[in-house]
Structure 1
Amino acid sequence: MRLPKRLLLAAGIGALAARRTFQAPYLLEGRSVLITGGSRGLGLALARELVRQGAALTLMARHQDALDRAAAELRTSGARVHTVAGDVTVQADVDRAVEEAVKVHGGLDVLISNAGIIQAGPLANMTEKDFRDIMEINTYATLRLTRAALPQLRARRGRVLIVASVGSKFAVPHLGPYSVSKFAVAGLGQALRTELDREGVTVTTVHPGLMQTGSARQVTVKGQYEKEYTLFATLDNTPVLSMDASSAARRILRALMRGDADATIGGPATFMRYAQALAPQLTADLLALTNRVLPVPTTRDGAMRGAEVETAVTRQNPLKQRAERQLNELDG
């Protein structure tokens, strides 16, 4: 008796679902974890949660002073923390970070590609160089890191966590280069997930919405600097619209431990993701309308860092101030 093709398909899907349901979680205790962008913001929030779960950490970031502050705090709880000052766009620095993680902690189990930059401003004020610069850090660095770490991850059946964004599901007005880079890294995550599975390496891509990480100070703004920064920093630190960084870190690591292929983090991000999937035309129209009320482009060249254009509104936001203090975003 020949079974119907639909029944065979349903049985196959059921078997895959059962395998996922009954698969033991990937515990992080004793694991060696390398985090890029680990000195502050979401990277530091992830590091704190990893410490609570008993992982040994290697933090990579560009500035040694910020790394020293983060490591000193984490070590007060007895954590094993090593730091590497380096640039994720430089292959030699990436290779050195992996080598030091292996040397200090005896191997590498988990790679967390978290380092990234954000540029805020009208598309008319963005240059081709802006797109290339952000792609190097937000997208190609993930590929560079994964390839460097792959021999270790393959040997230890390790995991890769890619921090993308809800901006990888729909292009956010005035975050054009950022959205493009996150669309690209989400595609990279899918490709890596598909092809590394047979080698025993599990890849998880997460898509957080707005988070209170204090990182608005590091944003590059173009166009009407003060207006662009005030808008970004305010939305990034508004209750309901944005989520607490520690809560986001816990949800992100749960997705890693479950071995999710793809996970959206936060209620507003989930709503927008499904809105885009179910009603793409309506979502596009609403985003286009939103763009009409945003600051118009200017003829000014150049860019400024968010910390350089603080306004009375941004300085008085209590959620922003708290996140900056707690997540090592203040210089010195």
Structure 2
Amino acid sequence: MRLPKRLLLAAGIGALAARRTWQAPYELRGRSVLITGGSRGLGLAMARELAAQGAALTLMARHQDALDHAAAELRARGARVQTVAGDVTVQADVDRAVQEAVRAHGGLDVLISNAGIIQAGPLANMTEADFREIMEINAFATLRLTRAALPQLRERRGRILIVASVGSKFAVPHLGPYSVSKFAVAGLGQALRTELAREGVSVTTVHPGLMQTGSARQVTVKGQYEKEYALFATLDNLPVVSMDAPSAARRILKALVRGDADATIGGPATIMRLAQALAPQLTADLMALTNRMLPAPTLSQQSVRGAEVETAMTRQNPLKQRAEKQFNELDR
């Protein structure tokens, strides 16, 4: 007797769901993990959580002094840590980071693509060069890293964690290039998940909302500098709207351990993602209305770093001050 195709399809879906429900969690203890952007912010928060779970760490970032500070703290917690100073847009640096992880820890089990930049300001003040720069760092670097790490990840049936953003689900006003880059990396995560599964490599893409990582200082600002930075730095450290970095790091790593294809991190991010899915027209209209209330563009295309346009209001924010110290965001 031939079974109906719909019954066969339902049985197949049920088998996949059962397999996912009953499969053993991915144990992080003893795993070799490479984290880009690992010297500060969310990368450092994840490194601390991974160290607590017994993982061996390789941290990659651009500045050796920040890496040394992060590594010293993690080693004091008993972690095994290797550092690599390099740029994720440079293939030789990416290759060297993978090689160092293998040399120091005997292989590579987990790749965490976390390094990224944010550009804040009106679309009218953004240039094509701004879009190209952020795409190279936020999107193409993930592809570059994945290709460099794949031989090791295939051999050890490893995992890839891609840090996207809730900004990959809807475009945020005055974060145009950032949203475009995160849409791209979310699509890359889906493509990698689909095609690497047959090779035993699991890919998880996470979409966190605002987090108190102290990273506002590193944002590139255009337009009315002080107003743009004050708005970003305030929202980034606003209770309820933003979540504390250790909680975000734990939730992100739980998604990795479960093997989730896609995970939204934080209540506000989940609400916004649902709003976009259920009422895309209304969400678009609300974003357009929000944009009308934001600072107007200027004639200049000059950019500054957030730390250069601190005001008394942003300096005195206690949550911001605490996060900057806690996550190695202050200049050294």
TM-score, length of structure 1 as denominator length: 0.99
Q: Aligned-pair distance for 1:8? A: 2.0
Partners in 1 of 2:67 and 2:85 — Cα distance?
Answer: 8
Paired residue type of 1:163: V
Q: Aligned-pair distance for 1:227? A: 0.2
Question: Cα deviation per residue 1:16-70 (whole Å; 9 max; x = unaligned)?
Answer: 1101100111010000000000000000000000000000000000000000000
Q: 3-state DSSP class of the match of 2:188? A: helix
Partners in 2 of 1:267 and 1:13 — Cα distance?
Answer: 29
Partners in 2 of 1:264 and 1:19 — Cα distance?
Answer: 22
Match of 1:310 in 2: 310
Partners in 1 of 2:280 and 2:78 — Cα distance?
Answer: 49
Match of 1:237 in 2: 237
Match of 2:105 in 1: 105
Question: Cα deviation per residue 1:204-241 (whole Å; 9 max; x = unaligned)?
Answer: 00000000000000000000000000000000000000
Partners in 2 of 1:60 and 1:148 — Cα distance?
Answer: 14
Match of 1:191 in 2: 191
Which has the larger displacement, 299-308 or 82-91? Answer: 299-308
Question: Does the 8 Å CA contact 2:94/2:148 hold for their aligned counterparts?
Answer: yes
Q: Aligned-pair distance for 1:252? A: 0.2
In the TM superposition, structure 1's runs of 4+ consecutive aligned residues that sit over 4 Å from their partners are none
Paired residue type of 2:191: A
Q: 3-state DSSP class of the match of 1:35? A: strand
Instruction: Please show how residues 257-272 of structure 1 align to structure 2 within 5 Å.
Output: 257-272=257-272
TM-score, length of structure 2 as denominator length: 0.99
Instruction: Please show how residues 245-260 of structure 1 align to structure 2 within 5 Å.
Output: 245-260=245-260
Q: 3-state DSSP class of the match of 1:83? A: strand
Q: 3-state DSSP class of the match of 1:75? A: helix
2:8 pairs with 1:8: yes
- In the alignment, structure 2 segments of 5+ residues that lack a partner are none
Match of 1:280 in 2: 280
Q: Aligned-pair distance for 1:7? A: 2.1
Match of 1:218 in 2: 218
Match of 2:293 in 1: 293
Q: 3-state DSSP class of the match of 2:330? A: coil
Question: Cα deviation per residue 1:264-320 (whole Å; 9 max; x = unaligned)?
Answer: 000000011111011100000000000000000001231000000001111111110
Q: 3-state DSSP class of the match of 1:27? A: coil
Paired residue type of 2:285: D
Paired residue type of 1:256: L
Q: 3-state DSSP class of the match of 1:319? A: helix
Question: Cα deviation per residue 1:176-219 (whole Å; 9 max; x = unaligned)?
Answer: 00000000000000000000000110000000000000000000
Partners in 2 of 1:6 and 1:212 — Cα distance?
Answer: 47
Partners in 2 of 1:216 and 1:254 — Cα distance?
Answer: 25
Aligned pairs, number = 332
Paired residue type of 1:294: L
Q: 3-state DSSP class of the match of 1:239? A: coil
Question: Cα deviation per residue 1:233-265 (whole Å; 9 max; x = unaligned)?
Answer: 000000000000000000000000000000000
Match of 1:23 in 2: 23
Percent of aligned positions with the same letter in both sequences? Answer: 87
- In the alignment, structure 1 segments of 5+ residues that lack a partner are none
Paired residue type of 1:269: A
